[in-house]
A = this chain, B = another copy of it.
Amino acid sequence: MKFSELYGRDLICTQDWKKNELDLVLDLAFKMKRERFSPKYTNLLNYKTFLMFFYNPSVRTRQSFEVAATELGGHAQFLEPKSMRLKTQKTAGETIEDAAQVMSRYGHGLGIRILEDKVGFYGEGDDLLRDYAKWSSIPVISMAHDKYHPCQGLADVMGWTEWLCKGTEPDWNALKGKKLLVTWGHGALARSWCSVQEAMLIGSQYGMDVTVASPEGFDLDPQVLKWTEENCNNKDTHFETTNHPTKGYEGAHVVYSRHWMSPQAYLEGEFLKQKEIEKALKYPDWICDSKKMALTDNAIFTHPMPIDRGHEVTDEVASGSRSCIYDVAENRLHVQKAIMALTMTGL
């Protein structure tokens, strides 16, 4: 398979891509990390524009995408569609059919971020991205939406692999047979399902055993659980869910502790952030600490950041010697450069 085969592809969820396609992204991302400002890469996007639509604000995603375009010689244009008169069920405005077709005349790629408080129900953000993708002739890339966060998922497996292959060339099959624990953390921020769901999907695609742990009442999307289980079956690995706060830690190689909201977050037709925070704070024993980490197989601690320290994880673990959080965050940059180069330029 060649880099050029990814030209023009949308990236809305890693589950839409095959593992050998994702490997191509990781291969290139790793090269771009090693030779960050090499002339091999700094002119790939020359004079070209990546349009970024932030329905929701962001810091890390904005920073890493804009830096990525700059390092490839191009420009990432920051746009907030609140100033875009899009048609809705209630108001007149432009259709996605029109908006996407015009943008395809100007830009060479389109990133979209849309999360909980900007959608009316879980899945509406995913629908919107797929509608843009339908009408755009340029690649549509998710910059995190209600269901998935493919760039985070790729940065995760890249970081975990680097840590497990420490000192040697990373092998994108190194995660095979390793155990990933995705565990809920209590906390004071009501958080999206996108990052943890993407981690489960791509982790299982890369051959990991996957355990998902949370208190009762915090189930994730049944479709995503089902796909994760299917991925595990295809790879002959183990998938399980538990409501026990420590059991999943046993034998884990990667621990991913993060808060996520309950399926009730939308029940009354609006995003009930405050209610979710109150509910979450009732489970103070759901925190990743040294005692729990001692149950693992010397696991690394991972998190997509920003971290809610003291709730999701203790300072001791987050700033400890097995924390890969900054490396994963850095990988967002390299992975996104690779995705842009592959989908927007054909290399």
Contact = CB atoms under 8 A, between A and B. Distances in A.
A116 to B, nearest CB: 14
B311 A94 contact: no
Interface residues of A, number: 59
A189 B92 contact: yes
Contacts of A333: 105-106
A91 interface: yes
A75 B72 CA distance: 12
Interface string A87-122: 100011111011101110111000000000000000
Contact of A70 (B49, B66, B306, B326): B49
A102 B83 CA distance: 28
A189 B329 contact: no
A62 interface: yes
Interface of A: 37, 42, 46-49, 51, 57-60, 62-64, 66-67, 70-71, 73-75, 77-79, 81-85, 87, 91-95, 97-99, 101-103, 105-107, 187-189, 305-309, 311, 319, 325-326, 329-330, 333
22 contacts: A37-B46, A37-B47, A47-B70, A47-B73, A49-B67, A49-B70, A49-B71, A59-B81, A63-B79, A63-B106, A63-B107, A92-B187, A92-B189, A92-B308, A93-B189, A93-B308, A94-B306, A95-B309, A98-B306, A98-B307, A98-B325, A101-B326
